[in-house]
């Protein structure tokens, strides 16, 4: 069964099934009935035995329409048979109304979930903005700290270079001192040698004087 439903106005009302419409019509004609609640049904029987029923609700609810139900009937159908068909059609309309109410409820649930999702998304965006701001501040502080570290490293490199220069100078001075010490040792060795030679010369002069003085005494 193919059904088409016009969008009704939102209402919490649920339809109640009617006993029958009590319609009596001839082939090719339409009949209309209504009840005390303002509900109205227009039923049309065409030449091939198909029934088209339009069930109109009060303006506060809306209109449901069932198009061309395939029901095999004759124009001479007893009234009770049409009443049974009307009951079946009314039940279908009630099912559609209930289904519509369920759709409305599910729509409200979807809207509620959508609102909750929007709120959670907004909260998440706010948290992301806070995290992004904190990250930017941390990055700026880290960059500044890195700049200080670079300055400190440069100063230490300069100090190391200066100390190396001083060490090189000290090493040069140590080399000079070592050379001077070595030179002093060599001079001391030479002095000792010269002193030994001088001692020998003194001894030789003394002996020569003795020899000369002895010769004078004999003469």
Average pLDDT (91-109) is 70
Range of the domain at 28: 4-95
- Residue 202 forms part of a structural domain: no
Q: Please give the pLDDT value at position 23.
A: 45
- Residue 15 forms part of a structural domain: yes
Q: Please give the pLDDT value at position 107.
A: 74
- Residue 86 forms part of a structural domain: yes
- Residue 82 forms part of a structural domain: yes
Average pLDDT (177-183) is 88
Average pLDDT (9-20) is 34
CA angle 158, 159, 161 (to 5 degrees): 65
Average pLDDT (171-195) is 87
Q: Is pLDDT of 15 > 60?
A: no
pTM to 2 decimal places? 0.29
Spatial contact of 56 and 48, defined as CB atoms under 8 Å apart: no
- Residue 168 forms part of a structural domain: no
Per the structure, how many domains does the chain have? 1
**What are 16-66's pLDDT values in tens digits?**
333 334 444 444 455 565 555 555 666 555 555 555 555 555 554 444 444
- Residue 65 forms part of a structural domain: yes
Over pLDDT 90: what percentage of the chain? 0
- Residue 200 forms part of a structural domain: no
Q: Please give the pLDDT value at position 117.
A: 84
- Residue 76 forms part of a structural domain: yes
């Amino acid at each position: 069964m193919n059904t088409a439903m016009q969008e009704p106005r939102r209402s919490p009302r649920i339809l109640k099934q009617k006993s029958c419409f009590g319609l009596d019509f001839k082939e090719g004609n339409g009949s209309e009935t209504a009840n005390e609640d303002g509900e109205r049904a227009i039923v049309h029987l065409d030449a091939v035995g198909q029934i088209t029923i339009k069930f109109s609700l009060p303006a506060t609810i809306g209109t449901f329409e069932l198009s061309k139900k395939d029901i095999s009937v004759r124009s001479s159908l007893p009234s009770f048979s049409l009443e049974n068909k009307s009951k079946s059609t009314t039940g279908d309309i009630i099912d559609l109304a209930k289904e519509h109410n369920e759709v409305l409820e599910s729509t409200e649930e979807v809207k509620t979930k959508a609102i909750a999702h929007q709120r959670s998304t907004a909260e998440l965006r706010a948290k992301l903005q806070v995290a992004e701001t904190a990250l930017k501040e941390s990055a700026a502080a880290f960059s500044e700290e890195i700049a200080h570290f670079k300055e400190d490293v440069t100063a230490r490199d300069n100090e190391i270079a200066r100390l190396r220069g001083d060490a090189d100078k000290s090493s040069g001075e140590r080399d000079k001192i070592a050379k001077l010490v070595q030179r002093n040792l060599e001079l001391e060795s030479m002095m000792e040698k010269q002193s030994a030679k001088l001692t020998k010369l003194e001894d030789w002069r003394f002996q020569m004087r003795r020899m000369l003085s002895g010769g004078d005494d004999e003469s």
